[in-house]
Copies of this chain bind each other. A is one copy, B any other.
Amino acid sequence: MDVCGIKCINETKVRETVKTLPPKEDITRMADIFKALSDPSRLKIVLALLNQEHCVCDIAAICGQTDSGVSHQLRLLRTLKIVKNRRLGKIIYYSIDDDHVVSLINMNLHHVRH
């Protein structure tokens, strides 16, 4: 049996399942969101912001990371619109910008605790 050059056992089942797969862009986008939350130090930053908004150096203090490291991570999270920021003088406050990501984290947290 052969589907696009690769041999398989049960052609019917293969075709069935292929039909159910989301488009490639959707899979990529899902993976990007999961990836943003897949690094412990980055996840910790998001968890901290779940509680309330914080400035960069407070996040660094909370998470035990350098200001620079936190800034880099926040940039990535901002690119994915997971967090947003507002400036107040010299200080820039970051907060969560994606309710859906909050749900994902809470669901995962609930699971891990059981």
Interface residues of A (CB under 8 A from B): 3-4, 6-10, 13-14, 16-18, 20-22, 26-31, 33-35, 37-40, 43-44, 47-48, 50-52, 54-55, 57-58, 60-62, 64, 91, 100, 103-105, 107-109, 111-113
Contacts and interface: CB of A to CB of B under 8 A. Distances in A.
B104 A54 contact: no
B27 A38 contact: no
> In the complex this chain forms, how many copies of it are found?
2
* Contact residues of A: prevailing secondary structure: helix
A52 B43 CA distance: 32
A76 to B, nearest CB: 13
B55 A4 contact: no
Interface centre among A20, A29, A112, A113 (most CB of B within 10 A): A112
